[in-house]
Amino acid sequence: MRLKWLLTLSMATVGAWASPLQAELCEAYFNLDAGYRRDSLSTVINSTTLNDEITTQNQLKVKDLTLFQLGCKGQLLLCDAFVRGEAYWGWAGNGIYHKATRISSNYTKLNTKTHLHNGRTKDFTLLAGYYFSLCGLLDLAPVGGWSYQSQEFKIKKVQINNFSRDSLQGAQYSNYWQGPCVGVDARLDLCGFRMRGGYTYHWATWHAKWILKDQYEMSFSESGKSSSAHGQVVHLNVLMPIFPCVEAGVGFKWQKWRAQSGKGKIVLPVAGHQKKNSKVKHSCWDSYVVSLDLGIIF
C-alpha cells in the first residue's frame, strides 16, 4: 500500500514539472525565404593528346547571372543539440556565357558568346551541432554535415567569332558540387531581434558537362571532374516577431567554391566519336543571395 502511494506521488510530481521542462528544452522553427541571387562561374580546361601535349585550352565563363531564389530552412533543437537543414531552388532570368578556345598547333582562337536562359540551381544542406553559451548572450555551436549544390543552363543566340547562330537546340552547361562540411553556428537575441549566422568549410567533388548537339562541325560533348574541390559559405539572418510564434526579417548568404587538378574528356561526334583527354586547371563559382524571410516558431 505504501509502495503504491509512493508511485502515485512520484508520477504526479514528474507530471507537474515535465511539461514546462519539455517546452523549454525542445524548440523548432521553419522559415520560408525568397530573394535575389547573383552568380558567376569560370573554368579553364587544357585538352591533351596521347603524349600529354597541350593542343587546346578552353576558358569558360558565366557572368552577370541573376536569379530568383525560393526555399526553406528549419531547425529542431533539443536541449542544446540541434539538427538543421535547408533547401533552395533558383531560376535564372539573365546571364552571359563566354567560351574562348585557343589551339596551340596553329595559334588560332575561337570565341563563343551567348545569352543564358532556362537556368536552374539547387542547394541542399543538412547539419547537426551543439550550442555552448558565452556570457549569457551569445551562443556558439560547432556543426558538421553534408551539402549539395548544382547549376544548369541552356544557351541561345550564339555568336562564334562575331557570326550569329540563332538556333542551337540542345546546347547546355551543368555542374554540381557535393561533399562534407564543418563550421560554426552562432545565435544572439538582442533588443527583440533574433540573429542567426554561421560559417562552414566544405570538401567537395566537382562534376561538370558541356553539350552542343546536332550542329555538324561544331558539335561536342565535354565533361570534367575533380575530387580536389572546396568551398566556403557564410550566412546571416536577422528576424523580429510580428505575431505570436511568427517572425519576419532579412537574410544574406555568400558562397565561394574552387576546384583544382581535375580530369575530363572531349567527344567529337563528327570525327567518328573521337575522344581526347583533358585536364581541368581550375574551376571557380561565386554566389551571393539577399532574401526576405518569414518564419514560424513551434
31-40 confidence digits (pLDDT tens) = 999 999 999 8
- In sign, the C-alpha dihedral spanning 174, 180, 184, 188 is positive
How many structural domains comprise the chain? Answer: 1
Give residue for cell 530573394.
35
116: its cell numbers: 543564358
255 found inside a domain: yes
Rounded Cα–Cα distance for residues 131 and 78 (Å): 10
Rounded Cα–Cα distance for residues 298 and 261 (Å): 47
86 found inside a domain: yes
Q: What is the pTM of this model?
A: 0.81
10 found inside a domain: no
14 found inside a domain: no
20-71 confidence digits (pLDDT tens) = 333 346 889 999 999 999 998 888 877 765 455 557 777 778 887 889 999 9
176 found inside a domain: yes
Alpha-carbon distances, residue 118 vs 77, 157, 163, 221 (angstroms): 38, 13, 23, 20
11 found inside a domain: no
238 found inside a domain: yes
User: Any idea what the CATH number is for the domain that residue 196 is in?
Assistant: 2.40.128.90
157 near 184, Cβ under 8 Å?
Answer: no
Structural domain that includes position 122: 26-297
2 found inside a domain: no
